[in-house]
Amino acid sequence: MKIKILSIYFLLFFFSGINIIPAATEALTIYTYDSFNSEWGPGPIVFKGFEEKCSCKLKVVSIGDSGKVLNRVILEKVNPQADILLGLNNSELEKSFSYHLWQPYRSSLLVKVPTDLRVDKKYRVTPFDYGYIGFVYDSQKLRKAPKSLQDLLDPKYKRKIVIQNPKTSSPGLSMLHWTIAVYGEQGYLDYWKKLQPNLLSITDGWSAAYGMFSKGEVPIVLSYVTSPAYHLEYEKTERYQTAVFQEGHYRQIEFAGILKGTKRIKLARAFIDFMLSDIFQNAIPLKNWMFPVIHYQALPDSFRIVPKPKSAPELNPARVNQQNSKWLKAWSRAMSE
């Protein structure tokens, strides 16, 4: 009897033209790096904004830094557990392409993004912010700031610099690539050997390094040129400054993309569109401390102390993919001698 009643109930709804919506729909799963989804990062704002816009649910999984996020996706390639990877940087692009991870998508809003940031002509990934790495210093502890990578070798900076490990950190890897872009494959290891006496510590990630700097343990830290704006915005101080280098600053571009195998392609595409919308882009400066790829509004006043590098030495992504493992091994050997 129960089966008959249920059957009649179903037929009535079917023929009445009313759509039966499941009580709960499966969430769109996004993999990202820890700081993006931290309480002080843009994640809580932008993810909530998308859920309100799409009347859907997101499942956000934070996995260390961007390198760890990519490695997780590669390991799960045969059985994908995520729909979107948010937080891939340009140093990791070709590695991701070699594993054929992406479902291409060209957002209609991409035309608003400057062409030099649209580096993937096959639309596998979409840029959402960018920035430049640089050395931030405490102006109360240093009378004269370094003006180049070469200046960092001066003995007066002995044990006064903290950086991140290029094997475990995104800015650390960018610095390795920065030195290769400036000194070439024949000279970068010699540079690092000369720099080593001036390094107080090489931390696994950015948070540990910047924590040492913030606590006054060291006067110079590898970070981003935008970091001083944070201190001006929230601490109302211009004590911390970015050392502007003559050879320019290495640029990081961050991307997101739809992972191949997703069963929620329409919702995933909607998220990429949302990522280029004003809600998402306007949250980038004061939450991710990077530059948005689309300027829907003027940058916050605190960004007035952020220098815009005159040049950005970069490496070809294909070359990075081919040589990166070799460079890292050589760096490890040189720094352990």
* pLDDT, tens digit, 9 for 90 and up, residues 295-306: 999 999 999 999
The CATH number for 262's domain is: 3.40.190.10
Instruction: Assess whether pLDDT exceeds 90 at residue 170.
Output: no
In 3D space, the residue among 164, 145, 166 whose CA is nearest the CA of residue 156 turns out to be 145
Residues 200 and 322 in one domain: yes
Write down the pLDDT at residue 321.
Answer: 84
| Locus of tokens 């997703």 | 262
Instruction: Assess whether pLDDT exceeds 60 at residue 15.
Output: no
Q: Is 18 part of a structural domain of the chain?
A: no
Residues 106 and 42 in one domain: yes
Residues 277 and 318 in one domain: no
Q: Is 2 part of a structural domain of the chain?
A: no
**Maximum distance among all Cα pairs of the chain, rounded to whole angstroms:** 89
Mean pLDDT of 25-40: 90
Q: Is 19 part of a structural domain of the chain?
A: no
- Within 13 Å and on the Cβ side, how many CA atoms surround 87? 28
Residues 326 and 242 in one domain: yes
Q: Is 91 part of a structural domain of the chain?
A: yes
- What residues have CB less than 8 Å from 82, skipping those under 6 apart? 29, 30, 31, 61, 73, 76, 259
Residues 257 and 268 in one domain: yes
* DSSP annotation string for 203-239: ESSHHHHHHHHHTTS-SEEEEETTHHHHHHHHH----
* pLDDT, tens digit, 9 for 90 and up, residues 114-168: 999 999 999 999 999 999 999 999 999 998 999 999 999 999 999 999 999 998 8
Residues 166 and 106 in one domain: no
Write down the pLDDT at residue 203.
Answer: 94
Q: Is 211 part of a structural domain of the chain?
A: yes
Residues 174 and 217 in one domain: yes
Q: Is 33 part of a structural domain of the chain?
A: yes
Q: Is 223 part of a structural domain of the chain?
A: yes
User: How distant, in Å, are the alpha carbons of 150, 219, 248, 332 from that of 192?
Assistant: 11, 19, 18, 10
Cβ–Cβ under 8 Å, residues 257 and 126: yes
- Residue 170's domain comprises 133-251+309-336
- What residues have CB less than 8 Å from 280, skipping those under 6 apart? 42, 46, 49, 50, 128, 274
What's the total number of domains in the chain?
A: 2
Instruction: Assess whether pLDDT exceeds 80 at residue 214.
Output: yes
Q: Is 207 part of a structural domain of the chain?
A: yes
